[in-house]
Structures are given as C-alpha cells and as structure tokens.
Structure 1
Amino acid sequence: MSSIHPVSRSRHADLRWRRFTSYQFAAATALVPLAAAEITQAALSLPLAFVHRDGRWSLAAVLGLLPGQNLFVDASGSWLARYIPAGLRGYPFLIGTQASGEHTLCIEEASGLVTEGPDGDSFFDEAGALSPLVTEVANFLSDTARSEATLVQACGLLQSAGVIEPWPITIQGSDGSQQVTGLNRINEAALNGLDDAAFSPLRRTGAVGVAYAQLLSVANLGQLGQLAQARAQAEAAERARAEVKPMITLPEDSSIDWDWSKIGR
C-alpha cells in the first residue's frame, strides 16, 4: 500500500511535518526527471539523458548507472554535486496529477517527517487553509510540474526529428563489464544534418537548447565514474576493517589485577 497521500484537513490537520536534513531519502534514486527551467544549471553539474517511460520522452539527471544507486548522496546523506534537481527539493511533499490534469499536493507519510508530536510545522493555518510555508512548497512543486511538462513536449519533438539515439555506456564491475540500458543521448551528427524544414520547429520551441544541454552534460559522466570508484574503495576499506580481529582478547572481567612489573621477565 502506498504511503503517499493527498494533503487534506481530514487527514493532516492535527499532524505536523518537519523539513528534511539529509538526502538519504534519495540514496536509491538513480534518475530524476528535470524541468525545462532547470536544464541549464543541471547540465553544468550532472550528466543528463533522455529516457522513455509511460509512453513519453523526458530528460533526466543521471545520478547513478545501476538501479537503486545514487552516487551523489554519500553515507552521511550529504549531496555531493553543485546542483540539486528541483524534483528532490520539496520532499516529503510531492505533486500528483489527476486524470483531469489538475495537480494535487501529496506527502510521503513514510518519510519519518510527518509527526503527531509538537515538533515541526503545521499543515494548515487557524482558518483551515494551507499554511504559508506549505503553500510556498505547493506553488514551487506545481511550477516544477508544469515546467517538466514543457520539457516533455520538447523531448517528444527531438525524438520525432530522429536525433535521439541509445547511449552506449559500459561499466566495469567485480563480475566484469556491464552494459547500461535505458539511457539515450543526442546524435549530434543527425541534429546538424537536419534541413531547415525539420530544424526550424525545434528552434522555435526551444528544443534545440534542450539538445545542446544534453550534449554539454556528457562531460559530467566521468564524475560518476570517479564517485563510483571512491565509493567502492570506501566500502572495501570498511569491509577490511570489519574483518580485522584483535591479536589478543582480554577478559571481560575488568576486576582482574594485572601485575605489569612481571610481564617480559
């Protein structure tokens, strides 16, 4: 059963919520869909890839190359990149979309950030309306969702123009090489080879900027390799420390009186 529920007075009026202090909630998030308004900043810090899900194309920040892996969140929950995708900044709140297309503010109740105690912020004010802080979060997430939809349209145009291709990425692991699937990139030669009739709609709708943002972001892929290597080394060191056994095990009874003057004689 999902723990994500729409925010409502009947369910949340007597509850409170706290802001997250760690990005551990995103430690297993390998891909985050982006909004049109953030692709310039994201492309300077993160590798971006086109993904096809639920019958539509979108542009996503690539945070890891294995399922359930986010290399930009360290063991302490700190974020390691210069840019944080907008889709993660509103947690534990999320935006749901109804069949009519209307946005609904939801919250992840299993986040550990919803509480019955006195600590935290209220969901609603004394008049029964969303509190100013929750309203601010709701507006931010709604704007992000609309901007994501704009980017989806641009990605669809790029796909229709035939300039998106599978991104061949191979990673080396303890079991040998592994091909990463599901990530796609811009075929720059195909983009440059478009005639005016095919290129003009991409330019007018801003899709060309999306294409070049993805091409620019490819340079950030090496950072994932560095982070993966650093994590593997840290995990190996931790395993080595756990396997080290003491050469001498002292008795648990601390009352024993050791006569150190006789040792070595």
Structure 2
Amino acid sequence: MTQNEEFVRSLARYDTPTICNAIEVAQGKRGFDDYTRGTFQAAMNGAKAMVGYARTAKIAGKNPPKESPEVIKARRLDYFRYMAGGPRPALCVIEDIDGPNCVSAWWGEVHTVVHKGLKLSGAITNGVMRDLDDHQEGFPVIAGSIGPSHAFVRVEELECPVEIFGMNVTPGDLVHADQHGALVIPPEIMPELQAAIDKLLATEQIIIAPAKQDGFDIETLETAWREFEQSRT
C-alpha cells in the first residue's frame, strides 16, 4: 500500500460533515458546494464512512429494455470488469436515470457481496436498495430510497459523468460519503487535508471541552466562543 493510498483510506475514520468542514479550512473560506442535496437512506453495514475513487455507471429499470437480452448481459459483464479495475480504494457511484421515480433496486444481498468481493469500499446511488438485513458486512450503501423489486434493472452506461442528488461526479473523482450524504474532495487540497482536519477538530474542542465540564455557564461560553470565532474558517 502506497503512502497516498494509506492516507486516502484513513479518511474513512471521519464522518462526511467533518470532511466537508475541513475542505473549507483547507480552502480558507466558506462556500464549498460539491456535495449532495436531500436526504439519503443509509445502510452503513458496520462502516463509519466510505471513501474512494469513483467507478461510475448509469442504470435504468422502470420500463422494459429495448435492447436485446444478449446486449444487456454483455454490458453487465463489462460493468463487473470495469468495477474490478482501477485504483483502490474505490466507490461505486451509480445514477439511476429513472430518477426521481426510481423503482428498481440494484443494491441488495447479491450485489453488496459481489462488489465487496471485487474490493470496492461501498456504493452511492440516487436509486433503490433492498435486502437490508442481508447486505454484506462492511460494505456501506447510501441510496435514494428503499424498495422491494429489481423491476427491469440494467446497466445503461459505464465510466461516465453522473449526478447524484445534485452532486456531479466524474470517473476517478475522490468521493467521501456516509449517512449524511456525499461529497467530492477537490484534488488540489489533498496535501493540506489532514492538517485541515486536525485544525478543525482542535477548533471545535474550544467549545466542546468547556461545555462538558461542571460549572459551564453563559460567561464561560462567551469567553470560549470569542476564541472559537477567531480560530475557525
């Protein structure tokens, strides 16, 4: 494992709001907005968060396919070959083009087991998941909804730009996600990201530490808050 891969994997120790705030610390300003909007359904399956380079695809399934079964089966195998390749850690980022009225679950028992076996770290989709009690342990999935059926689900496109709840993802983007949503980490801030995380966590303790102590009152808060305001982005 390279030093960079080890660092990227280590980012799964932090929740996505922490990474979101740390990006602003690294950028030195508010306004970072490359993240999802709306509320996901989360099946974290024992994981705190997921992080990896995006392996992207588009699926559909509300209506029957117009292509032949042979074409659809061949594309599905191409999909698995694509997901098995590329740098690690990796996340599967899938746009269901039937959105916002998705009905076909791509993520369930079989696919969580298969994708974990192919060494992917998790999945993000605006589409549907099911089989919640049977997901592979350690393979988190965040999805737009939960439903019972796979309907006519199939792969429509591979290694393509996708949009998930307002977040645009290009193949190879570094994505961080948890039950709060997902974001794309700007590559230019990577050298400063760990220092930014450390600074953010230390700054938060200016408020959190005294607030947990006996005798905390409004005067203590006012003093701590002035220091906090001077320290934060």
When normalised by structure 1's length, the TM-score is: 0.25
Bigger radius of gyration, 1 or 2?
Answer: 1
When normalised by structure 2's length, the TM-score is: 0.27
* Structure with more contact order per residue of length (Cα contacts < 8 Å, sep ≥ 6): 2
